[in-house]
Amino acid sequence: MISLKHSAAPAASHLIQQRSPLKNPGSSSFAPLLPAKPSKSSMFTGKPLYISAIRSLCACTEQKSRGLKVKCQAYEADRSEPLREIHVPDIQQRSEAAQKLKIGIYFATWWALNVVFNIYNKKVLNAFPYPWLTSTLSLATGSLMMILSWATRIAEAPKTDFDFWKALAPVAIAHTIGHVAATVSMSKVAVSFTHIIKSAEPAFSVLVSRFLLGETFPVPVYLSLLPIIGGCALAAVTELNFNMIGFMGAMISNLAFVFRNIFSKRGMKGKSVSGMNYYACLSILSLLILTPFAIAVEGPKMWAAGWQKALVDIGPHFVWWVAAQSVFYHLYNQVSYMSLDEISPLTFSVGNTMKRISVIVSSIIIFHTPVQPINALGAAIAILGTFFYSQRERERERERAFL
């Protein structure tokens, strides 16, 4: 009997390398044989297996060389009958299921945090209409949270160099512009309207890639942009509380985030920094860029007067609103960047589209935003067009991979 301890199917070469010297070659039993080192792909059963009907490995080799058939049967340690089938758990399927569950948790957390952020952000801006300071506080809170987590070793600090920060600089500039522009937009119009306009980001991505980078797209991709542009236009025209500054803020945010993605793809190739730490570094650099501009545009005098007025109008709850919007802004962005470590950019774009639906619906319910049927139709068309665009881009990437 040959005892195979735990390894389900060791290679014959491993058995030969590890076999013990035989005192009696004619004996029907061998010392237990083990593979030299189990490979990563080897699977383990709960009990040792024994192979019967082989007098010796040498005899087995001789019989094979003569063209004779060799019958091997596997037994569990506590069985006397051969196993008809050896059931090995499908580790790959389990791994895929665990990965899908992990991504699902990331998406659900991302959407929930984003909804909470948008609600508190709008509450703060209604009482304290200073979007530059509000944007600065969001970045400052996130930067402080990450610096403390690195200092206390809750999170591992990233290993960066000058080249890393140099590549991150244009990304941070675009991120700063997009963040401030979106906050300015939400200070002037309803949250739902800002996110309807921001659903047109794929259209900006295609147009910038086409006319500035020279990248070409198949016809279905261009056709998918029509409902996006048409739906956004319809929603804008029928918006009851339309504001040009709010509209332009959302449009500028779209353009800035497109350039942020382009710079990020170009500059961060080969940089081994996790999604969480990448966004932390991005927040710190964006904070350094934004702070002097926030002081120049609004200034401490305006902030002090507005803060006192908000405390009188709202009460101490206003402070908690500011803290909540700052913390949740960092958390939802951090989770979104962590998601990018696990999924493709196209899957991320689909998740981003679904996120906008949850934000639009929840903000309409919470703030009792008046919506006309034609306005809702425009929003639905724009979001549906964004989903179609994501599908066309996914097919395009598959074709590229195949070629």
The 10s digit of each residue's pLDDT in 36-70 is: 444 444 444 455 554 544 444 455 555 555 555 55
Parse the chain into domains and list their residue ranges: 2-76, 108-402
The 10s digit of each residue's pLDDT in 192-208 is: 999 999 888 888 888 88
- For residues 353-359, give the mean pLDDT: 81
Confidence at residue 5, expressed as pLDDT on a 0 to 100 scale: 43
The 10s digit of each residue's pLDDT in 244-265 is: 999 999 999 999 998 988 887 7
| 13 — pLDDT class (breaks 50, 70, 90) | very low
86 and 94 Cβ atoms separated by less than 8 Å: no
| 84 — pLDDT class (breaks 50, 70, 90) | low
28 and 55 Cβ atoms separated by less than 8 Å: yes
Q: If you average pLDDT over each of 173-187, 267-281, 376-390, which comes out highest? A: 173-187
pTM score over 0.85: no
Confidence at residue 21, expressed as pLDDT on a 0 to 100 scale: 47
Which phi and psi (to 5°) does residue 3 adopt?
Answer: -95, 125
How far is Cα 259 from Cα 237, in angstroms, rounded to an integer? Answer: 27
Is the pLDDT confidence value at 336 over 90? no
Is the pLDDT confidence value at 14 over 90? no
